[in-house]
Structure 1
Amino acid sequence: MIIKSSSLTIALALALAASAHAKPPAAASNEAATARHLASLIAGEPKSAELTLFFSQMPKGGDLHHHYSGAIYAEQYVDWVDKQGFCVYKSSYRIETNKETVAKERDKPALERSCLSSGEILADDFTYRELLQRWSSKDFDNHGAIQSPPDRQFFQTFGFFGPVSSNNFNEGLLELKKRAIQEHVGYIETMFKLAPLTPNASFDAKISQAGDDDAALTEAMRAWSGALEQDAAFNKGVADYVTQVGQAHAGVDDERFTMRYQAYVLRLLAPSQVFSSMLSAFKASSQSPLIVGVNIVGQESAPSSMRGYTLHMKMFQFLKTRYPHVKLALHAGELALGDVPPDGLRFHIDQALHLAGANRIGHGIDLAHESNAIGILKTMRERDIPVEINLTSNAFISGIKGDNHPVTLYRKYGVPYVIATDDAGVTRHTLAQEYALFASRYKPSYAEIKKVSYNSLRYAFLPPADKKRLSAQLDERYAAFEAAIAALPAQAVAGARR
């Protein structure tokens, strides 16, 4: 009798627990109706306009692969030219920042000026359109732009708008917040600002001499990191960086939206600059709850990036032992066949995982070429390490899309993933469009789409309490969205099913 009673008690407890997590009948019905509706939109030839409408309204937990400077549209940067007292050369579309030169230009008669104000750019339709084509991918696909190779077009945009992107941080973040709310995005984790760096010729020489000698490399990093951590100027730079992030963040968080930041390192620089910036980033992340992780950016196929890749991963490995709680979301494997010789495609994701200790992988599009591809998939699945999928970016920069995109492999082998924008201002799209592309190309179930949306909170570099709060908000938003889809006029639903 005691055994039976205990079994009954356990069964009752399990039943109560299950009912506590079960959806109310109406909610379950709405979810099922939404699933049927999405299935009707992707059956056969995808209904692109209706998919765009669907995903524009659908709640999207967050955007985890997001570059601040690349997320702001060129039109916004044009407005900031005057605000900073700069001008833009009509011949090159480069920004002039020297105030004396700008003043001399403004003293000239209007027809003789070679460097234009925001207003003068906007008044000249030809110049304005050409500027947008250089500062973003506008008109690239319809052949209205100067047709440089797409990867060059993409990476060169940052050199054009860079002088204004490093100003007006709070205004820029508030603009991104406004856009996110309009797009039903609750959280953004943005790569915000280059961490401070300190050049050191002696360290560069030691790194060159060390070559493949890991002991010599470790000793060089140990000695210089120790010196930097005792350096007042270096520590002030880190403190100022943390303060600047805090000031830029003013007014960003509220009950509708949350933003956090990744400090980043530029992989194109000399070893001393990369390492000192990396140390700054780790220290800043350990000092500020707003700075939740560290990343490394810059064109991965550039010669300096390729030569220094393994070295950079070893730098991360060294600093990760010093700051084990700092999270890493690393650009790795943003390479396609032909970008570099085949040998360069065989190890980047693997080293980001096994040397650097990445907590998330950004892009990961060279997966199929990696020597340890099956091991990578196994590691990411077993360690619950997600990949950040950026469909528009991968298609534009590298030509990777459709069945050639390794999202097909990540999905097949059970690797968690999130959908993100990368540089939505440069490539001129939205997170909703990324979901629409994904749905139209790969025809996922609504359950998978919804899981991906929640994944962007699950894998965010946030404390558990924040994840719980944002997930609860997302629950409410999905309940409202699914109710709205289920209540669509019968003729609209019937039309979608034809």
Structure 2
Amino acid sequence: MQKTLSSSLLIAFATLASAHAGARSNAPTANEAATARHYAALVAGEPKTAELTLFFSQMPKGGDLHHHYSGAIYAETYVDFLDKQGFCVNKHTYRVETDKAAIEAERAKAPAARNCLSTAEVYADDATYRELLQRWSSKDFANHGALQPPPDRQFFQTFGYFGPVSNANFHEGLVEIKNRAIGENVSYIETMLKMSPFVVNKEFDDQAWKNADKDAALDAQMRAWMNALDADEGFNARIADFVARIDEAAAGIDDDNFTMRYQTYVLRLLNPSQVFSSMLAGFKSAAKGGKGEGKIVGVNIVGQESNMVSMRDYTLHMKMFRFLKSVYPDVKIALHAGELALGDVPPEGLEFHIDQALNIAGAQRIGHGIDLAHEANAPAIMKTMHDKDIPVEINLTSNAFINGVQGANHPVTLYRKYGVPYVISTDDAGVTRHNLAGEYVLFASRYKPSYAELKKASYNSIRYSFLAPSDKTRLTRQLDARFARFEAGMAALERTSVKR
């Protein structure tokens, strides 16, 4: 058993070791070996999770590539946002009231008679506050016995509760995410920030469903409407405003210690015209920056994958991505694919989602990918991802909570065994109330990878980002320096630890 040094002493040892690092050419290798020994002792036998939490809180973790802005903000912050937007929350339904007349009517009542509460009033009513946190996040889900919905419904319902306050104050939210990331030694986040604008076209909907299995006809239909939308001044003005709002929210976020970039996304629960026009807007928005030089670096698709509409239109959506990728070949795409478990849908629904995301849509990263073992083409999927260097984004807490996939049942065991690159990420850390360090703790304690493998995962989060090459180089060099300091501190800790 080791007596742990205080943080200040650890920093002091790291500083001292770094000062003398240049005197011995083998010092970095020795420090890395000492760090590897220390880590190996923490996962040997029954993992020492408290010590692993300390280890990974301090370890540089590169970036977080599967990250939803709205789901990353904690419910407590959204309560603070109520007053910023002049809203209130109904203490019976826990829904946000946005109608100004209704809000003014509530404010005219005596405090004891109000049903719709301000930020301060929510904080003053502990029973309402606690229940709100349980509705707006997974807080207390696993450790209390009240009647509650299934976990997947609980998860996806939270967005309906805090949605009205998550659609504003973007800059303040990004600052909170940045500060939390810096606090746990994360230097880059690629967040899915906003859904790109869309247009409703019922004629397109009817025709798209008819053409879903007729590739030539579907491509002709998409091209015709794309050309019309390209010439639509109103549609293009909405895209310009969308990009400007992201640029405004992102202003001042990047600095010498932290970088953030943004994916736009489409919602797979909508009708084909809405999905296609939103997807087109996303591709056009990302293309404006040019090869990763802008703030918007990629396009994604979100929404519960087991939903009826998601399952019905899945292949159609993949064909939309294929078409737009052919028009905008430089735009990067990362796709939620295979976020399904046995029992979520009939078995045949598990057989093709990752496959089509790769081989139809041309995904450059796969998000979740947890139905891998059920995919009809699983060996070829892993070979394609290995040979084409396409990573999977691993979200352990999310997969366990939403789909019940964890431990030896998680296909990260397959991805690792067959050499598929991976990154470790958070998904919706505010909803499921965890952080990236915690994901590394879960990964290390469950699967006991080597320190070298974990370090590679950290670097992978820069390597497989959609950043411009110059930014990747810059962040990789920063990560080199961060690891040198971390390993110097770990080596000093190992030398001075007290055995007892």
Give 1:438's aligned residue: 443
Q: Could you report, residue by residue, the CA deviation over 1:150-201 in whole angstroms, capped at 9, with x for unpaired residues?
A: 0000000000000000000011101111011001000000000000000001
Structure 1 contact 139–145 (Cα < 8 Å) conserved = no
C-alpha deviations, 1:116-164, integer Å up to 9, x for none?
Answer: 1111111111110000000000001102654210000000000000000
* Higher-RCO chain (CA-CA 8 Å, sequence separation at least 6): 2
* In structure 2, distance between residues paired with 1:493 and 1:292: 48
- The CA deviation at 1:208 is 2.4
Report the equivalent of 2:19.
none
Looking at structure 2, the residues matched to 208 and 299 of structure 1 have their Cα atoms a distance apart, in angstroms, of 20
After superposition, give the CA deviation of every residue in 1:330-354 in whole Å (9 maximum; x if it has no partner): 0000000000000100000000000
Cα gap change, 1:382/1:99 in structure 2, threshold over 3 Å: closer, same or farther? Answer: same
1:260-312 per-position Cα deviation (integer Å, ceiling 9, x unaligned) = 00010000000000000000000000003110000000000000000010000
1:128 aligns with 129
State the distance in 2 between where 1:28 and 1:382 align.
Answer: 30
Structure 1 runs not aligned, ≥5 long: 1-22
| Corresponding position: 1:320 with 2:332 | no
Say which of 424, 432, 436 aligns to 1:419. Answer: 424
Residues 60-79 of structure 1 aligned to structure 2 (within 5 Å): 60-79=61-80
Counterpart for residue 378 of structure 1: 383
Q: Which residue of 1 aligns with 2:311?
A: 306
Q: In structure 2, give the amino acid aligned to 1:382.
A: D
Match of 1:8 in 2: none
The alignment covers a number of residue pairs equal to: 473
In the TM superposition, what are the counterparts of 1:28-427 in structure 2 within 5 Å?
28-143=29-144, 146-288=147-289, 289-427=294-432
- Confirm or deny: 8 A CA contact 2:34 2:494 kept in the other structure: no
Tell me the distance in 1 between the aligned counterparts of 2:61 and 2:431.
21
Could you tell me which residue of structure 1 aligns to residue 3 of structure 2? none
Using the alignment, how far apart are the partners of 1:145 and 1:266 within structure 2? 32
CA RMSD of aligned residues (A): 1.1
Opposite residue 452 of structure 2, the aligned amino acid is A
Report the Cα distance in structure 2 between the residues aligned to 1:414 and 1:192, rounded to whole angstroms: 31
- The residue identity in structure 1 corresponding to 2:205 is D
Aligned partners of 1:138 and 1:145 also within 8 Å: no
SS of the residue 2:301 aligns to:
strand
User: Which one-letter code corresponds to 1:360 in the other structure?
Assistant: R
In structure 2, give the amino acid aligned to 1:291: I
Q: 1:310 to 1:494 in 2, by over 3 A?
A: farther
Deviation at 1:490, TM superposition (A): 4.6
Letter in 2 for 1:308: D
The DSSP-based 3-state class of the residue aligned with 1:259 is strand
Alignment check: 8 A CA contact 1:88 1:116 kept: yes
Q: Which position in structure 2 is the counterpart of 1:474?
A: 479
Q: Which digits, 9 at most, give the CA deviation of each residue in 1:49-74, with x for residues without a partner?
A: 00000000000100000000000000
Q: Give the AA of the match of 2:408.
A: D
Q: Secondary structure at the match of 1:356?
A: coil
Contact 1:133 1:145 in 2 (8 A): no
User: Would the alpha carbon gap of residues 462 and 437 (structure 1) be closer, same or farther in structure 2, given more than 3 Å must change?
Assistant: same
SS in 1 for 2:313: helix
Q: Which moved more, 1:23-32 or 1:111-120?
A: 23-32
**Counterpart amino acid of 2:261?**
R
> CA offsets, 1:344-399, max 9 Å, x none?
00000000000000000000000000000000000000000000000000000000
2: CA distance, partners of 1:181 / 1:234: 38
- CA gap 1:287/1:144 in 2 versus in 1, 3 angstroms: farther
TM-score (norm: length of structure 2): 0.93
Identity between Structure 1 and Structure 2 (%): 69
Q: Equivalents in 2 of 1:274, 1:135: separation in Å? A: 27
Q: Judging changes above 3 Å, is the alpha-carbon distance between structure 1 residues 422 and 103 closer, same or farther for their aligned structure 2 residues?
A: same
2:432 is matched by which residue type in structure 1?
T
SS in 2 for 1:265: strand
Deviation at 1:212, TM superposition (A): 1.4
Deviation by residue 1:190-235 (Cα, 9 ceiling, x = unmatched): 0000000000011011112224122221111111111001000110
Cα distance in 1 for partners of 2:325, 2:211 equals 21
**Structure 1 consecutive aligned stretches of length 4 or more whose deviation exceeds 3 Å:** 489-495
Q: Is the 1:410–1:416 Cα contact (8 Å) retained in structure 2?
A: yes
- Residues 1:107 and 1:410: Cα distance change in structure 2 (over 3 Å): same
Give the whole-Å Cα distance in 1 for the aligned partners of 2:364 and 2:424.
16
Output the amino acid matched with 1:353.
Answer: L
**Residue 492 in 1 paired to residue 492 in 2?**
no
Contiguous gaps of at least 5 residues in structure 2: 1-23
